[in-house]
Structure formats: C-alpha cells, structure tokens
Amino acid sequence: MPTTATVATRTDASRMDDPNWWRQASVYQIYPRSFADSNGDGIGDLNGITAKVPYLETLGIDAVWLSPFYPSALADGGYDVDDYRNVDPRLGSLEDFDRMAHALHAAGIKLIVDIVPNHSSDRHEWFREALAAPKGSAARDRYIFRDGLGENGDLPPSDWESVFGGPAWERITEPDGTPGQWYMHIFAREQPDFNWDNPEVRDDFLKTLRFWSDRGVDGFRIDVAHALTKNLEDTLPSTADLEAQGEALYLEGRHPYWDRDDVHDIYAQWRKVFNEYNPPRTAVAEAWVHADRRARYASPEGLGQAFNFDLLQADFDAAQFRGTITKNLAEADASGASSTWVFSNHDVVRHATRYGLPAAADSAGGIMAGQAGKQWLLTGGRQQDVDVELGLRRARAASLLMFALPGSAYLYQGEELGLQEVGCEIADSERQDPSFFRNKGVEIGRDGCRVPLPWTTAGSSFGFGAGGSHLPQPEWFAGSSVEAQEAKEGSTLALYRTALALRGELQAAETLEWLDTGRDDVLAFRRPNGWTCITNFGTEPAGLPDGEVLVSSSPLEAGTLPGSATAWLR
Ligand code: GLC
Ligand code: CA
C-alpha cells in the first residue's frame, strides 16, 4: 500500500519521530575508513565523520548508513567483524560513536549501521574458542565445521567456491597439532560462516540489535541477508549438481545456502525487536536474489525494505530504465515496502566510470569485485579507455532521475563529487580487497571506489586528514574535491545539493505516471504533486514538457534538453 502521508521536511521536529521517515529517504553511505581522518593516521574515523556533519547537513540527506566500524583485521574492509558491540580503536570509541550519533541527530540526520550476520571474523572470540575446542563441541557448533572427504579427510567437504574465488572451505589444525576439520566460508577465509541453527547465534544477534538500538541507531543495513540459513546434508551436492538444476534451484529456494525460505524466520524475530522501539527501527536487506523473491525480505513482517540492484545493473538505456522502474515500483507496492534505488556503493565500480566504459566492457556483470571494465582497469588506465566526460554526464542524468523517483535513494560517498573509480593508480602491492588476492589479480577488486575522499584541492591527502591516505589518491582528485566543486558553478556537488533540497518538496504519494514523449530514447514521468522529470538517453536534443525548469543535470540548449541529461519541471 503506497502511503499518501507526506513526509515532513527535515527541519520539522516531528520528522525525527515519523515512523515512515525511511520510505522516501535519501540515504548517504559512508565507508568510514575512507571518509575523513581526524587524527592524521591515514584512516578515516568516527570523529572525522562528526566533524563533517555540517557538510552532510548542507548536502541535504536524510540518513547516513555507516559501513562496518567494528574491531576488525580488515581482511574484507571491516566486513570481517571481531566484536559486534564495539568500535575499532583505530576508528574511535563507543563515546565517539555516541557523540557522532548525537551530532547527526541534532542535524536532523538518521543513522543506519551495518550488521554482518552471515559470518564473523576468524578473530572473533567464538571462532577462537571453536578452534581450541574439540570436534563435536558446543563451541564448534556455532560455526559450520565438517570432516573432510578422502581417506585422511584432506579433501574439502565439497567443491564449492567462495564468492571471492578459491575454495569455500578451509582446513584447520586441531589443538593437538594434527590436520583437522574444515570450516565453511562463503566469503574470505577470515570470514567463517555462522551456524544459524544454533540458538546462541540467534540470541547474540538480538542482543547486538538491541545494543545499537539502545544507543540511538535508527536502522540497520543487513549484509548478505540471503545467506544465513543453510541446508547441509551429509553428502553435499557438487557445483555441477547445483548448476544442472538451473534457475529453479533459486526460484524454489532449494539452494543449500542462498536465499532459503527459512531465513525469514530470523527476520520475523528481528522485526519484533525493531518494533520494541519508537519509532520502530528500520532495516534494509542486501540480498542479491532473484527479483521474484526480493519482496519477502522487504515485507513489513521482515526487514521492511530490500535493495534492488536492477537499475545499477541496467545500461544507460531508456527501455531498460523504464522497465526496471515500473517493475520495482509494482514489487515494492505489493510487499508494502517502498522501493530502493542505488547506482553506486562500496562493492561496485562507481557509476560515473561505469557509464563511460566502452560498450564491450560487461558492466552489467560487474557487480562484485569490480569485474566491470576489469580489462581497462588492469591494462588501460582510466584516461585511455573510459570516456570520463560521457560517464560523468550520464551519471549526473541518472542520479537526478533517481532523486525524482518514489522510494529511497541510496548514495555512496563521493558520488556527489562525480568521483571516478581509481584504476591503475593503485599498485598491486597497495591493494587491500580480498577479491583481488583470492582471484590472483584476475579481478581487480573493489579498492578503486574506496579511496579516501578529496576534500581540498591541495594539502596532505587532499584534506582527508593531516597525514597520508590508506589507499593512494591520484593527482586528479584535486579537481574533484569538495573545495574545487564549491568554487565551481554547475558542479556535481551543486547539482546534488539543489536536487536533494528540492527532493524534500517532491515527496508525495509513492507513485508516478509515465508521459508519452514520442521518442524511444526519452523518458518522462509526472509525480502526483505535478512535478515532471524528463531524461534524454539519446544524443538528439529533446523538447521539454510544459512547466518551469527547476534543475537540470546539464545546461539546456536553446530551450531543449540535450543528450544524456535530465531536467525537473514544475
Ligand atoms: C556484502 C558487502 C561486501 C562484503 C560481503 C561479505 O556483499 O557489501 O562488501 O565483502 O558482503 O561480507
Ligand atoms: Ca584516523
């Protein structure tokens, strides 16, 4: 049921208590180690974020989603959590967290934190206990331990591959020094999967959700929400067995670990916890599932909202955009959730670069681990094969379109600067992403979108901090910096600020009406409050519908909308 309740503007005090605040929110993702560094150690931190609250306020976002800031060895950028109820000392303390949350709330900005329930890190106290305890012990039962195959158990229990490449099983050494059991890890070796059949695991996460909710966290982003429950028979099917079953395996929820139906029992329980709070805590699922199964995650009895990555995976193409938008609005409507839109995050090639890749580069397949354009990233360098101008122009058009859509818009830090992916400027020896190492460099990995933000045109680490930067920043960051863009009329930062401020006024019923533009490469839609958004995906200029132009992603040309551009009219 689309809600017709209008969401109050951000300055309205009642807005912070509105239980529907998330439905059409603009949520800004911060990758904390790369946002702002307050103490010059080259690593972004919580005090750095607190210092930038005025910037976030001027940007006009409704909420911040914070990627993991928990103690971690950073085997996977913090998605390998040592302790779910603490702050990495390199990033600050719990007191710093409270100060940050307070500063955000005082500025009318909600706070969403990342919960990583599929796996812990291998340094988590439970995993260390499991390694020290014998086979069959209660400590081992919190994870997924199995005997190996073959005479001496020296073959993995199955041939399954981890998402980052290489086997999904790792053999341990038993406390007595002999080669021992194997444990499952869908991701890196340092990320052992929890056994969600174990009640202790379930209880501990309820405790974690309450811990952060009690500290004033407004919502949660649930990492790999579709992997928690598993069905591991004594004899495991091989990868070939699974592949032979085709799409039905997924559609019927029969895969041994992806998107099983019983995962929703967990979220039903979590929902009860969320509803203990006022306003209820929100959640959004990161679930790379078949589109037909996504609504289950977004159900009001479950997490309430789910990311849809369809638009992110679409080409810059009118038909693909229209089809995706229509389908997702219908789907959200059916589930009772609002839709979500996202073009960039910490796992994908930045959209300003994606849209400038040669058509041959398979950007649609390039989701995890920056497979998109891996050829150019590895061999070409950004200048050579990426049409930087076209990429940015299209990214601005796409983002402005997204901000006009009903539903929540998820932004990733730096996209408001039109930042490009950093490619070959990161030397192999400087890379951090496990997907790069586990694939032996065949996949370039995700470091290119995780480089610390440029705040100033000059100075140490372009204003990121008083010291260095944990991933190298290229020289061209100067021109993309906040300082450079604040001085420049028509900058991407200015576009985002204008659009996000107007978006607050745009929020009406969660519907849109497509308009006939007479062209296949031009999309236009009207929102119930009478605003129109038009995007020209082609190259020929397009005529504008009636109305006053409020904002456009590129300058109009003789009263027409040029190619690769979006405009809003009232
Ligand atoms: C999610 C995260 C990604 C991480 C993975 C394993 O996909 O977004 O960054 O590597 O889960 O936790
Ligand atoms: Ca720091």
**Ligand 1 binding pocket includes 190 (Cβ within 6 Å):** no
Q: What is the pLDDT of residue 371?
A: 38
298, two tokens? 């977004």
- The answer, yes or no, to whether any atom of ligand 1 lies below 6 A from the CB of 416, is no
Residue written as tokens 């400027």? 425
The mean pLDDT of 542-555, rounded to a whole number, is: 97
- Which of 119, 187, 309, 349 is the best mutation target for the ligand 1 pocket, counting ligand atoms within 8 Å of the beta carbon and taking the most? 187
Please give the distance, rounded to the nearest whole angstrom, from the Cα atom of residue 47 to the centre of ligand 2: 8
Min mean pLDDT across 182-186, 263-267, 350-354 is at: 350-354
Contact present, 35 and 413 (Cβ < 8 Å): yes
Q: Looking at the CA of residue 347, tell me the nearest atom of ligand 1.
A: 9
Q: Is 184 touching ligand 1 by the criterion CB < 6 Å?
A: no
H or E element that contains 179: strand 179-184
Q: Which residue has the higher pLDDT, 406 or 14?
A: 406
Ligand of minimum distance to the alpha carbon of 91: 2
Number of the ligand 1 atom closest to the C-alpha atom of 79 = 12
Nearest ligand to the C-alpha of residue 434?
A: 1
Torsion of CA 259, 288, 228, 132, to 10 degrees: 140
- Judge if the beta carbon of residue 447 lies within 6 A of ligand 1: no
224 alpha carbon, closest ligand: 1
Average pLDDT of 180-190?
A: 97
Picking from 217, 167, 204, 214, the residue whose alpha carbon sits closest to that of residue 187 is: 167
Which protein residue has the closest C-alpha to ligand 1 atom 4?
A: 79
Say how many Å lie between the CA of residue 210 and the centre of ligand 1: 23
Extract the tokens encoding 348: 């994908």
* Torsion sign across C-alpha atoms 184, 369, 82, 67: negative
- Ligand 1 center–CA 164 separation, angstroms: 10
Q: Is 415 in the pocket of ligand 1 (CB under 6 A)?
A: no
96 touches ligand 1 (CB under 6 Å): no
| 457 Cα: distance to centroid of ligand 2 (angstroms) | 20
Considering every ligand atom, which ligand is closest to the CA of 47? 2
More confident residue, 110 or 14: 110
Is 160's C-beta closer than 6 angstroms to any atom of ligand 1?
no
* Domains of the chain as residue ranges with CATH: 4-119+198-350+389-498 (3.20.20.80), 125-184 (3.90.400.10), 510-569 (2.60.40.1180)
First vs last C-alpha separation in the chain: 26
- pTM of the full predicted structure? 0.94
Confidence of residue 507 (pLDDT cuts 50, 70, 90): confident
Residue 518 is classified by DSSP as: S
| 205 to 54, 179, 212, 234, 394: CA distances (angstroms) | 33, 32, 11, 27, 41
Burial class (CB within 10 angstroms; exposed 0-12, middle 13-18, buried 19+) of 276: exposed
Mutational test site, ligand 1, from 224, 284, 433, max ligand atoms within 8 Å of CB: 224
CB 492 within 8 A of CB 418: yes
Q: Judge if the beta carbon of residue 193 lies within 6 A of ligand 1.
A: no
Share of the chain above pLDDT 70, in %: 92
- Atom index in ligand 1 nearest the CA of residue 186 equals 6
> Using one digit for the tens of pLDDT, what is the confidence trace for 252-265?
999 999 999 999 99
Among the bound ligands, name the one nearest to the CA of residue 75.
Answer: 1
pLDDT (tens digit, 9 = 90+) per residue, 301-312?
A: 999 999 998 898
Residue 31, ligand 1, Cβ within 6 A = no
- Given a cut of 90, whether residue 515 has pLDDT beyond it is yes
Query: How far is 506 from 437, CA to CA, in rounded Å?
Result: 45
User: Ligand 1: does its nearest atom lie under 6 Å from the Cβ of 116?
Assistant: yes
pLDDT tens, position by position, 226-262: 999 999 988 999 999 999 999 999 999 999 999 999 9
CA distance 497 to 486: 11
Residue 323 Cα to ligand 1 middle (Å): 28
| Sheet arrangement for strand 145-146 | 145-146, 179-184, 169-173
CA-closest residue to ligand 1 atom 7: 224
Average pLDDT over residues 365-374: 34
Residue 349 pLDDT class (50, 70, 90 cuts): confident
Which amino acid appears at position 84 of this protein?
A: Y
Residue 446's pLDDT is 87
pLDDT at residue 381, rounded to an integer: 35
Ligand nearest 192 Cα, by number? 1
Q: Rounded distance, CA 552 to CA 490, Å?
A: 10
The arithmetic mean of pLDDT across residues 159-170, rounded, is: 94
Handedness of CA 163, 165, 168, 172 (dihedral sign): negative
pLDDT digits (tens, 9 = 90+) for 393-402: 999 999 999 9
Which ligand 1 atom minimizes the distance to the CA of 164? 10
DSSP string covering 344-372? --TTS--HHHHTTS-TTS--TT--GGG-T
Stretch 475-497: mean pLDDT, rounded? 96
Find all residues with CB under 8 Å of 230, minimum gap 6, and list them.
Answer: 144, 184, 193, 195, 196, 256, 257, 260
pLDDT of residue 532: 97
Q: How confident is the model at residue 442 (pLDDT cuts 50, 70, 90)?
A: low
Q: Is 79 touching ligand 1 by the criterion CB < 6 Å?
A: yes
Name residue, tokens 């959209």. 351
Q: What is the structure's pLDDT at 202?
A: 98
Q: 568 vs 422, which has greater pLDDT?
A: 568
Q: What is the 3-state secondary structure (H, E, C) of 258-292?
A: CCCCCHHHHHHHHHHHHCCCCCCCEEEECCCCCHH
Which bound ligand lies closest to the C-alpha atom of 120? 1
- Ligand 2 centroid to Cα of residue 70, in Å, is 14
- Per-residue pLDDT at 387: 86
> Which residue is associated with the tokens 């069905």?
231
φ, ψ of residue 568 in degrees (nearest 5): -110, 140
Residue 116 CA: which ligand 1 atom is closest?
Answer: 12
CB distance 347 to ligand 1 below 6 Å: yes
Confidence of residue 13 (pLDDT cuts 50, 70, 90): low
Q: Which helix (H) or strand (E) holds 181?
A: strand 179-184
Ligand 2 mean position to 322 CA, how many Å? 43
Assign 359 a pLDDT band (cuts: 50, 70, 90): low
Of 347, 443, 449, best ligand 1 pocket probe by most atoms within 8 Å of the beta carbon: 347
Å from CA of 48 to ligand 2 middle: 7
Q: Is 224 in the pocket of ligand 1 (CB under 6 A)?
A: yes
Q: Give a three-class secondary structure readout of 230-260.
A: CCCCCCCCCHHHHHHCCCHHHHCCCCCCCCC
Q: Name the average pLDDT for the chain.
A: 91
**CA gap 331, 48 in Å, rounded:** 38
Residue with token string 């600067």:
417
Query: From the CA of 227, which ligand is nearest?
Result: 1
Pocket of ligand 1, candidates 70, 193, 223: which has the most ligand atoms within 8 Å of its Cβ, to mutate? Answer: 223
> What confidence tens digit (pLDDT) does each residue in 33-75 have?
999 999 999 999 999 999 999 999 999 999 999 999 999 999 9
Q: Do β-strands 408-412 and 340-342 pair in parallel, antiparallel, or remain unpaired?
A: parallel
Decide: 229 and 256 in contact? Cβ < 8 Å: no
Testing ligand 1's pocket by substitution, the residue of 66, 76, 163 carrying the most ligand atoms inside 8 A of its CB is: 76
